[in-house]
Structure 1
Amino acid sequence: MHNLEKIEKKKEQRNLFDKKIFFFLLFSIFYSLNANAQCAMCRASLESNGDTSQAEAVNDGIVYLMAIPYILVAVIGIFIYRMYYAKK
């Protein structure tokens, strides 16, 4: 029975760890910072006509395009992590 208790305790710890990871990822996705992701030449050409809203829109687009690869790598990492620990 002692081994069964150890197994149950490990499952509880893993579930707690999974919940922490889930909430961290959820918080990371919805928490945003103001970022300037344009190159200097793009910014200069967009701001030269005086319309900064277009420059901000291009900046937002660059940030969104940059985020997709990071999200994909994170999902693949979680998938590999779960496969690795499912075998043990």
Structure 2
Amino acid sequence: MYKKTLFIILLSFSIDSFGQCAMCRAVVEQGGEEVAEGINSGIVYLMAFPYLLIAVAFFLFYRSWKKSSMR
């Protein structure tokens, strides 16, 4: 039951992710495939840093927790 509910909630949020702002859409439509690839690369680049920061924070937390538990 829990998994089905979570799946439905996540599916309902993914529908909104297909939208673009009007300016981005206009640039992609006028610029062609090369511009679209550049915008997609920029999105992936901007998306990677929050995940990287969270991974580093968890690593530092785990390392300090492991040091304190060995004492």
Question: Which TM-score tier does this pair reach, normalised by the shorter chain?
Answer: 0.5 to 0.7
| Matched-pair contact (CA < 8 Å) for 1:38–1:59 | no
Which of 34, 41, 45 matches 1:60? 41
Gaps of 5+ in 2: 1-17
Q: Let me know the Cα RMSD of the aligned residues.
A: 2.1
Between Structure 1 and Structure 2, whose CA radius of gyration is higher? 1
Give 1 or 2: higher helix fraction.
2
TM-score (structure 1 length as normaliser): 0.49
TM-score (structure 2 length as normaliser): 0.59
Q: Kindly tell me: are residues 60 and 66 of structure 1, through their superposed partners in 2, closer, same or farther at Cα, counting changes over 3 Å?
A: same
Gaps of 5+ in 1: 1-36
Greater RCO (CA < 8 Å, at least 6 residues apart): 1
